[in-house]
Amino acid sequence: MAVPSVMILPLLIVFCAGVYYVYNEAMRFMSKSMVQNKVVVITDAVSGMGSECARLFHEGGARLVLCGPSWDKLESLHDSLCNGSDPSATFTPKLVLLDFSDMENISEMITEIEESYGCVDVLICNSSMKVKAPVQNLSLDMDKTIMDVNYFGPITLAKGVLPLMITRRAGQFVLVNSIQGKLSLPFRTSYAASKHAVQAFFDCLRAEVEEFGISVSTISHTFINAVPQNTTPSKTPPTNPLWAYISSKLTTHGVNSNTLAHEIVRTVNWHRREVLLSHPIPWVALYIRSLVPSFFFAVVAAGVKDGVMAEQLQ
């Protein structure tokens, strides 16, 4: 029986989505074995995304170095990873205090890692400080603090680890960045500036270290949802995993920690140079910003004016 022509496009979309879903599941299954025995350093490991990322690498058999500003939170993360894990298949994570607002101890931290493991296979720069305010309300001290955490901290750590990688002619840097390193929005002047700066640094670094067999990956994502978004509570979520996957792509406007952590693992395994993790609107905005910048600026400015007017009417 012939398929009606009006059904061809929907069936093709469903088929492509199914292939993509199966591919992602296969890659997720294969990724666990590919990080085994690698020394992986994760900054801000106590954050939601950092802890989820640490869990995946720990399950995959990586030798983790977990960095964070709070020793209590690091110990709690250490206990949650080790409890119930198989000691014969996993390594006990190493904990290191690291606060990018105080960078004097970074050299000591790198020395400690070198003495413990002798190398760093993967450095995941995950730390970030966010602020949203009109530019006239931000002090210069706040601007400097944001640049320290989002820019000077990651690049200082990367420069410290780089000689270890060059010596072995192997290694990988992974920058977990924001989409605002590519697309600037109002009321985020300092944050967007810091994200643009760190994106440019690692883009330059990628070209400089390629001859040494070192790879650089950047992951630009939209805002992180504290709670994974599913279908609304009044609706029954799809029981079919394929339809659940398609529904999540259509209804989610941010990314959750689990999705981002799995993307980081895939990026490490396949040495992807650049990843953009977002729903379609930021993708479209990036193309408009590049192809029709005057239209993009007009739309953004109109949004600011509408917001100010709405506040005055309240």
SS (H, E, C) 106-174: HHHHHHHHHHHHCCCCEEEECCCCCCCCCHHHCCHHHHHHHHHHHHHHHHHHHHHHHHHHHHHCCEEEE
- Are 41 and 112 spatial neighbours (Cβ–Cβ below 8 Å)? no
> C-alpha angle with apex 121: 221 to 130, nearest 5 degrees?
30
CA gap 212, 296 in Å, rounded: 40
Long-range CB contacts (within 8 A, 24+) of 231-236: none
Active site includes 23? no
3-class DSSP assignment, residue 26: helix
Give the closest residue to 49 by CA, choosing from 279, 263, 218, 203.
263
For 170-209, the DSSP string reads: -EEEEEEEEGGGTS--TT-HHHHHHHHHHHHHHHHHHHHH
- With a CB cutoff of 8 Å and minimum separation 6, the contacts of 140 are none
The HSE-up count of residue 70 (CA atoms within 13 Å, CB side) is: 7
Residue in 117, 151, 191, 245 annotated catalytic: 191
DSSP state of 210: G
Give the closest residue to 260 by CA, choosing from 271, 249, 276, 273.
276
Identify the bridge partners of residue 276 per DSSP, sorted by sequence position: 220
Catalytic residues: 191
